[in-house]
Amino acid sequence: QPQNEHIELHRKRHGRRLDYHERLRKKEGREAHERSRKAKKMIGLKAKLYHKQRHAEKIQMKKTIKMHEKRNTKEKNDEKTPKGAVPAYLLDREGQSRAKVLSNMIKQKRKEKAGKWEVPVPKVRAQGETEVLKVIRTGKRKKKAWKRMVTKVCFVGDGFTRKPPKYERFIRPMGLRFKKAHVTHPELKATFCLPILGVKKNPSSPLYTTLGVITKGTVIEVNVSELGLVTQGGKVIWGKYAQVTNNPENDGCINAVLLV
């Protein structure tokens, strides 16, 4: 094996032999004959290995040739009729946003198949109190330390009024209160901005659930009347659960996945 590029260098500097191309052409022409001569003369284990390898090579070659042939000819279309039959009045209308039209049938099938509480984000890192609640010092000499401020995003209901400031133990800052969440439908991959109805469960602690703290993995209830879902019995669905998939305190928005 050459250790350096002196061969290439020489080639660049001085060029090739004058009859190089002709000799190359003739050598390649002889190749088929050489190969066949060797294959005929080989015996023993070497022959077995060689023939096995050659057989595999030939199969591949045949496949590629067939593919090339198929590409050139035009085949008659299959007799199967395409799926997705629609009546005549819907035929020329492709642009209807199917994102808003959800298939009830698929929902029913899903419900029967899986257990009801399979969630997209099953495990989350448990968040300790020191992380979620910040100690606020009060009092004339700032010695009292019984107040806590929530450092994560939270949801308070519509009719929320604070307790008198002297007595409130948990402070939920207005800047961290959110009303809407960006909810993605897992099948359609369409995202809607839906109002939050409430916090159902925070996996870290029941205290956070009552406070309304929203962290990654929290199950929240959202208002889905915008989507126009209907049950089998004909009733309109207006609330559904969704699970939060990001860290809202870092991003400034709540992203969730709808639990169908």
Partner 1 sequence: AHPEPPAPQVMAPSEDAERLLIQFKDEAGEPLGSPFDVPIAITPDRLQLVCNALLQKDEPVPLAFYVHDAEIVTSLEKTLAGQALETEKVLDIVYQPQAVFRVRAVTRCTSSLEGHTEAVISVAFSPTGKYLASGSGDTTVRFWDLSTETPQFTAKGHRHWVLSIAWAPDGKKLASGCKNSQIFLWDPATGNQLGRVLAGHSKWITWLCWEPLHINPECRYLASASKDGSIRIWDTLMGRCDKILTGHTQSVTCVKWGGDGLLYSSSQDRTIKVWRSQDGVLCRTLQGHAHWVNTMALSTDYVLRTGAFEPAEASINPQDVSGSLAELKDKAQQRYDQVRGQGPERLVSGSDDFTLFLWKPAEDKKPLERMTGHQALINQVLFSPDTRIIASASFDKSIKLWDGRTGKYITSLRGHVSAVYQIAWSADSRLLVSGSSDSTLKVWDAKTGKLAIDLPGHADEVFATDWSPDGQRVASGGKDKCLRM
Interface contacts to partner 1, rule CB under 8 A: 79, 81, 83-92, 101, 103-105, 108, 228, 230-236
Q: How far is the CB of 56 from partner 1 (least distance, A)?
A: 43
Residue ranges with strand state E in the chain: 133-138, 144-150, 170-171, 180-185, 190-201, 219-223, 239-244, 255-258
User: Please, which residue, 28 or 75, has the CB nearer to partner 1?
Assistant: 75
Report residue 43 as tokens: 């015996």
Q: How far is the CB of 232 from partner 1 (least distance, A)?
A: 7
User: Please, which residue, 135 or 230, has the CB nearer to partner 1?
Assistant: 230
End-to-end CA distance of the chain: 63
Q: Which residues contact 185 (CB under 8 A, 6 or more apart)?
A: 99, 102, 191, 192, 258, 260
Q: How far is the CB of 186 from partner 1 (least distance, A)?
A: 19
Residue pair 240/222 in contact by the 8 Å Cβ criterion: yes
User: Please, which residue, 159 or 234, has the CB nearer to partner 1?
Assistant: 234
Q: Kindly tell me the number of DSSP H helices and DSSP E strands found in the chain.
A: 7, 8
User: Please, which residue, 53 or 225, has the CB nearer to partner 1?
Assistant: 225
User: Please, which residue, 92 or 94, has the CB nearer to partner 1?
Assistant: 92
Provide the b/e sequence for 16-40 (b: ≥16 CB within 10 Å).
eeeeeeeeeeeeeeeeeeeeeeeee
Q: How far is the CB of 183 from partner 1 (least distance, A)?
A: 19
User: Please, which residue, 29 or 233, has the CB nearer to partner 1?
Assistant: 233
Q: How far is the CB of 112 from partner 1 (least distance, A)?
A: 12
Q: How far is the CB of 182 from partner 1 (least distance, A)?
A: 23
Residue pair 169/147 in contact by the 8 Å Cβ criterion: yes
Amino acid type, 256: A
Report how far residue 120's alpha carbon sits from residue 246's, in angstroms, rounded to the nearest whole number: 12
Q: How far is the CB of 93 from partner 1 (least distance, A)?
A: 9
User: Please, which residue, 210 or 225, has the CB nearer to partner 1?
Assistant: 225
